[in-house]
Amino acid sequence: MINVNEQLRNLPRVDDVLEYVSETIPRAILLDCIREVLDDCRNAITAGTPAPTKEKIAELAVTLAKSKLTPVLRPVINATGIVLHTNLGRALLAESVAEHVKQVALGYSTLEYDMQTGKRGSRTIGIENLLTVLTKSEAACIVNNNAAAVLLTLGALCNGHEVVVSRGELVEIGGSFRVPEVISQGGAILREVGATNKTHISDYRNVIHATTAAILKVHTSNYKIMGFTHEISTKELAALSQEMGVLSIYDLGSGSFVSFAGEPTVQQAVADGMDIICFSGDKLLGGPQCGIILGKKEHIAKIRTHPLYRALRADKLTLAALEATLGLYRDMDNARALIPTISVLLAQPEQLKEKATLLLGLLDKKLDARLQKTEGQAGGGSLPLTEFESWAVAIPQSPQFTVEELEKHLRNWKTPIIVRIHRDNLLLDVRTIDERQFAEITECLTAMT
């Protein structure tokens, strides 16, 4: 039984604890952490636990300070094999793109400065020019994400009027945002047509009337309806909308300039004649999070003058990353090699097996690791039916630790390593691991053994 009052009296002062701290930590933060640890000690003593030494208090305070100084948003190693992992930040930027963003961030830039005239210019003119060249669209507009792109388009072009959507396309995207709610917030009126699994051209034609503003097609990029189904192509919808005097709007979702597993491309949607096309910049395009709106000049002009545009426009770092990413698409072979999303998705199984073999050879034999063929996904609500054959290093249960304990150790490493557990095996899927990260993974696993 401890003497509570004596233990409390003997707790050191803050200055006394400071003498045992040798690491460089901002003084104000360190003082706060020492006080917080001392408060915890008082509570523990009152509950019957003896006070720790001054050295231990200093150690606890330093650990607490380091945790508070560590940003919540920080780099991790993605060993899940999911390329566009929503929880881990989705698309990686190309190295040249990241370097360009760094240079723009570190100094002043030509954000709204026209170098030709020396006067104020447009912040998105370079991106618009690239998009029109790459996609053959008439005009473009950039906002902060695709949901914003759809919301702004509906608000600017369809407010107070009906928007016709197939029942099979009333999707919910991440964060419980649903197409009907976006339509409502855009001030438009939803008109559902067809059935969940089948919608015909006549279903659209029969409901279009004087108060109809647009037909909205939503690409179901995060799920697929299989079996007894029928949907209308963008080409057919574009032709019908032109015939009936309404707009055709395409929420493409994960817009891509490269075809994956039969996915529609942005270029094809433009060629099919859709009036407006909205898609994300941070999924299959492989750029930063943003929303891109392509379309006819007259419609984009209305979108640009809508009051909501100011609230939804992208910041300078997003624009820098997007322009640099789009610049890589001027040479498609270059894009396939340098844009991580594309190069990783296109990596062949034999390449990945060699990569996994290299990682396996670096690991301690005590781990009893082995190669294992796996199936990965694109992620990010993209290519829902497509599985990408991959290879992983599999580490089984052992008498020393469970896979859950190993997963926690990896996750709490200085650079967190995020993995999958499958059938009592911890998997390090090399599709999403850069070879430069092998040393970090090896160090982490060596510390466990």
Report the candidate in 247, 246, 324, 252 with the shortest Cα–Cα distance to residue 284: 252
Say if strands 177-178 and 212-218 run parallel, antiparallel, or are unpaired.
unpaired
The CATH number of the structural domain formed by 77-87+341-448 is 3.90.1150.180
Task: Please write the tens of the pLDDT for every residue from 206-263.
Answer: 999 999 999 999 987 655 666 667 788 999 999 999 999 999 999 998 889 998 777 8
Note the pLDDT of residue 386: 76
Report the candidate in 263, 273, 308 with the shortest Cα–Cα distance to residue 294: 273
Q: How far is CA 216 from the centre of its chain?
A: 25
For residue 371, count CB atoms less than 10 angstroms from its CB and return exposed for 0-12, middle for 13-18, buried for 19 or more: middle
At residue 19 the predicted structure's pLDDT band, cuts being 50, 70 and 90, is confident
How much is the pTM? 0.89
Note the pLDDT of residue 253: 87
Domain boundaries, the chain: 4-69, 77-87+341-448, 95-338
Q: Which CATH architecture has domain 95-338?
A: 3-Layer(aba) Sandwich (3.40)
Task: Please write the tens of the pLDDT for every residue from 108-124.
Answer: 999 999 999 999 999 99
DSSP element (H, E) containing 88: none
Q: What are phi and psi of 230, to 5 degrees?
A: -160, 130
Task: Please write the tens of the pLDDT for every residue from 367-402.
Answer: 999 999 998 888 776 776 678 899 999 999 888 889
Average pLDDT over residues 276-289: 95
| Local structure of residue 288 (DSSP, 8 states) | -
Note the pLDDT of residue 99: 97
Average pLDDT over residues 26-36: 94
